[in-house]
Each structure stands twice: as structure tokens, then as C-alpha cells.
Amino acid sequence: MADAKKILCHACGQANRVPGDRLGAGPKCGTCGAPLVAGKVAELDLPTLQKSVRTDDLPLLVDYWAPWCGPCRMMAPEFAKAAQQLAPDIRLAKIDTQAHPQASARFNIRGIPALILFRNGREVARLAGARPAADIVAFARQHVAA
């Protein structure tokens, strides 16, 4: 497993090692059995987000949103479409800034919706405002390839 990828299970918080060539085969968490790269958006809390940013070998694109935000609600289905298109190379997650206000402070979020792309434990790029799926996919691929 020389090319194994560390991936945090967003359901139980357990780190998993997955062979790089098996990412597209629907790997599951060894602890809870949840899919690791299912092409769906994971709803995270701040501790899980921070652990995923530190642990994951795959890039993680996070949507900072709130239930009262109209543009956030409009972008949610587009973000879900982008998750399907970017799997298994990039995982997508979202965090509710109303339920987790400390996430806004921790990541210096000034307006929502806001997207932050993390790779190798660092913020790679940031994008503000509601976007269609095509723009989200292009943004993620552009910055992962760089």
C-alpha cells in the first residue's frame, strides 16, 4: 500500500487507509462501514472538519453556509452535483456557520456562502458567493492541479 491514502470517515471520525487505485471502488470505513468517497456532501462539525483537514490525503472542499441564507440554499443542489462530479478525487463537505459559529472565526469567514479548498493540511484557495456546479468543479480542479 505504497500509494495508500489516509481518509477520515466523516461519520465516525476514524482515520482509514485506502489504496489509491481503490478510491473509485467505493471504499468504506473499517470501523462503521460508512462510505468514504461516495460523491456526496458530508455535513461536518468543527472538530471533525479540523481533523479531516489535518488527516486527509485527498483534497477537501468545504462550503460554509447557514440555513437562513438564501444564496446558500440555492447553491446547495449545485454543490451536491459538484460532489458527484469530483468524486473520488476531491471530497466535499459543508459546515453550518449558525450551528458552529466558531468555524467562521477559526477560518476567517466574512460572508457566506464561502468555499475553501484544503489540501495537505493547508488552505489552497477560497471562493466567495453562490456558484453553479460547473464553476465549483472548475475551481476545485484548477487549484488541485496547480
60 located within any domain: yes
Q: Is residue 93 part of a domain?
A: yes
> Does residue 123 sit in helix, strand or coil?
strand
User: Residue 50: left (phi > 0), alpha (psi -120 to 50), or beta?
Assistant: alpha
The answer to whether residue 72 is catalytic is yes
Domain CATH code at residue 73: 3.40.30.10
Full pLDDT tens readout for the chain, 146 residues: 558 999 999 999 999 999 988 888 889 999 999 999 989 999 999 999 999 999 999 999 999 999 999 999 999 999 999 999 999 999 999 999 999 999 999 999 999 999 999 999 999 999 999 999 999 999 999 999 87
Cβ contact 22:47 at 8 Å: no
CA 105 to mean position of chain CA atoms: 18
**Predicted structure pTM score:** 0.94
Q: Model confidence over 86-104: pLDDT tens digits?
A: 999 999 999 999 999 999 9
> In degrees rounded to 5, what are phi and psi of residue 122?
-130, 155
Q: Which domain holds residue 84?
A: 39-145
Q: Which of 9, 12, 29, 72 is catalytic?
A: 72
- On whether residue 44 sits in a domain, the answer given is yes
Q: Between the CA of residue 54 and those of 48, 77, 104, 128, 131, what are the distances in Å?
A: 10, 27, 18, 23, 27
**In whole angstroms, how far apart are CA 28 and each of 22, 55, 77, 101?**
11, 17, 24, 30
- Could you confirm whether 32 is annotated as catalytic? no
Answer whether residue 29 is part of any domain.
no
Is residue 66 in some structural domain?
A: yes
What is the number of domains present in the chain? 1
Q: Does the residue 6 lie in any domain? A: no
Query: Rounded CA gap, 135 and 145, in Å?
Result: 15
Phi, psi of 59 (to 5 degrees): -60, 150
Using DSSP, how many helices (H) and how many strands (E) does the chain show? 4, 7
Residue 19 lies in a domain: no
Of 12, 29, 32, 69, catalytic: 69
The whole-angstrom separation of Cα 59 and Cα 65 is 19
- 140 domain residue, yes or no: yes
